[in-house]
């Protein structure tokens, strides 16, 4: 938190207490989709947030990967779109948004193919 506040000890700073989503959840919270990998160090926070949202009756969907899932999924696993796990949560997210927005997106994404799912890091055109 030092990077955000300029203070080395933010634990006791009352300003930072107001930044905790889990401590400020109410029944007015919007519908939420929470996902967390099984190797994400922030998993306890995601689980606590889901618990608090449920306790307030907030519409909630979760995708919490089981402890034994292989390969382990760390923080921001969703951004590795060449993985099956990221493709799954991307599809769940798009469905979640379509259901709540009540509209067809202005464009649709074609189904992933093996060629497109090849990581940019593995692309022969990248050095």
Write the pLDDT tens digit of every residue in 55-106. Answer: 999 999 999 999 999 999 999 999 999 999 999 999 999 999 999 998 665 5
Q: Which two tokens mark 28? A: 């007015």
Confirm if 37 and 75 have CB atoms less than 8 A apart. Answer: yes
Kindly tell me if the per-residue pLDDT of 29 is higher than 70: yes
Task: Give this prediction's pTM.
Answer: 0.71
pLDDT in tens, 96-110: 999 999 866 555 555
pLDDT in tens, 113-127: 544 444 444 434 434
Task: Spell out the residues 6+ positions from residue 46 whose beta carbon is closer than 8 angstroms to its own.
Answer: 34, 35, 36, 40, 64
- Please state, in angstroms and rounded to a whole number, the distance separating the CA atoms of residues 13 and 72: 34
Strands 32-36 and 60-64 come out as parallel
The DSSP call for residue 35 is E
């Amino acid at each position: 938190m030092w990077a955000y506040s300029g203070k080395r000890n933010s634990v006791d700073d009352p300003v930072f207490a107001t930044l905790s989503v889990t401590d400020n959840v109410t029944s007015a919270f919007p519908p939420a989709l929470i996902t967390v990998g099984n190797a994400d160090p922030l998993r306890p926070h995601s689980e606590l947030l889901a618990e608090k949202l449920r306790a307030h009756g907030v519409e909630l969907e979760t995708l919490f990967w089981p402890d034994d899932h292989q390969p382990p999924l760390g923080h921001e696993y969703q951004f590795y779109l060449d993985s099956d796990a990221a493709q799954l949560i991307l599809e769940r997210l798009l469905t979640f948004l379509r259901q709540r927005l009540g509209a067809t997106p202005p464009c649709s994404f074609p189904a992933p193919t093996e060629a497109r799912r090849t990581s940019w890091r593995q692309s022969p055109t990248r050095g």
